[in-house]
Chain A
């Protein structure tokens, strides 16, 4: 794990954090055809500037869809999504994302993948080198800089994707189950690393996960979504110290919250399986 931290906002770009406002957002896949499918139904969500927000919910409830809408990758059909820069209409480097399926450029090595965003951001060559090395080291891929994605395991690809996104230091960080392919040990290390980065660089983070403990460990607030069509069912404040390490797992409040949220999530999951029959 790295100790040194790079300056959070280099002079070449300063993506300040920003809140995210989601109002009345619904989304239907295949809206233009007869059998359109309602994936999100009237989502209202205010995420504060600098907040670490986790989205929990059963598979297929529209968590990725909501992230894609905030990212500007798919057009907003109904409602409004806005950041401090105004309504979201297209993707931009102020809102960088780690996709559930990694989406590394397969023709680029790990290092070139990480350098891609740094070049676009206008860092000079020395800064690019330094930042790439720093983030590759942070995700424990030192020694694999020149490997192509096809030569890496799923967990390694996922870590490379995380490094690529973190390296550009976006004001808003969107993460779609970014630790899903990692073993429990690596996962824990990455969670702590992410908390540290977030604490030091003041980002707004929207983090999708299935793992209740992970959500409670990371988040300031947690949204629990209903089964499809996705709605925000509960929003829960996580009242835990800012500095969270291994010891938090034994914290009474941590355990209480985890159990409470686990019950709420299970209700939705049960509803989802019932809905499927």
Chain B
């Protein structure tokens, strides 16, 4: 599970890996060239699509001014709290649903109905409930990230090969042992996949909720820079948060790959 889209795996030699990475990301260079070109033709106003140089300048002044890092830290702490809570509660709930029929009967319809709902629709609701502080955003991110984790865990735990459960039981494992040491472990690939979706959701909800209900954070920064007409700085902040999201996803994929080493034959 390295790329979202399945890609070829690179071979071991370093030079090859570097070239390969360069080739893989060359479309980004094309995008940058297209961006500059579009600005030069005058088809789109310089205001709407500032040059990359201007954006870079705005970026460095925001970075050294400290506001970018401060707001990013605020945002990420909210996302981490919401996501962390969602992973803990989601794994537990998914396991319980998979193991116990009453829990399953109770939660299945709820999960099914809320799964496809765009969670940003809850922004006004959490604002009414919890106001403008951190807790409203954390709750929103928590709710948005919960279902992918629940669904991943549930599917993984339901799909466990029964022979593994029987093996453990006949080797002396108690029911709790079986749940912890076999069901949870066997469901891990699906759990980790669910968490990856949740990670992406946490970024989306973090930024979009800060557009609406916040007095700091990257989302707030982007919207207020946009309102103030400071487009180069706005784009700089957008690219920065996109880069962080990308880096988080890659780090996560590396971690997941390590955790699932046993699957690679």
Contacts and interface: CB of A to CB of B under 8 A. Distances in A.
Interface of A: 68, 71-73, 90-93, 95-97, 99, 101, 103-108, 116-117, 120-121, 148, 150-151, 164-165, 168
Interface in B132-185: 161, 163-164, 166-173, 177, 181-182, 185
Interface in B198-233: none
Interface of B: 161, 163-164, 166-173, 177, 181-182, 185-186, 188, 261-265
Nearest to A104: B167
A106 B171 contact: no
8 contacts: A93-B170, A105-B185, A106-B262, A107-B185, A107-B186, A116-B181, A150-B262, A165-B171
A103 B166 CA distance: 9
B262 A148 contact: yes
Given A106-B262, A151-B265, A96 B170 contact: yes
B262 A121 contact: no
B265 to A, nearest CB: 4
Contacts of A104: 167
A-side binding surface: helix, strand, loop or mixed? loop
Contact of A96 (B171, B185, B262): B171
The 7 A-B residue pairs with the shortest CB-CB distance, nearest first, are: A120-B172, A117-B171, A93-B172, A103-B163, A91-B169, A150-B265, A103-B167
Nearest to B185: A107
A90 B169 contact: yes
Name B's interface SS.
helix
B192 to A, nearest CB: 12
Contacts of A120: 171-173, 177
Given A106-B262, A150-B262, A168 B171 contact: yes
B260 to A, nearest CB: 8
A105 B182 contact: yes
A121 B172 CA distance: 7
Contacts of B172: 92-93, 117, 120-121, 168
B156 to A, nearest CB: 12
Contacts of A106: 186, 262-263
B189 to A, nearest CB: 10
Nearest to B173: A120
A91 B165 CA distance: 10
A103 B167 CA distance: 7
Nearest to A151: B265
B167 A105 contact: yes
Given A103-B166, A105-B164, 10 more contacts: A92-B169, A97-B167, A99-B167, A103-B163, A107-B186, A107-B188, A116-B173, A120-B177, A121-B172, A151-B265
A181 to B, nearest CB: 15
A241 B173 CA distance: 38
Contacts of B264: 150
B183 to A, nearest CB: 12
Contacts of A99: 163, 166-167
Nearest to A148: B262
Contact of B170 (A97, A101, A107): A97
Contacts of A72: 170
B171 A116 contact: yes
A230 to B, nearest CB: 20
Contacts of B182: 105
Nearest to B174: A120
A90 B264 CA distance: 34
A107 to B, nearest CB: 5
Contacts of B171: 93, 96, 116-117, 120, 164-165, 168
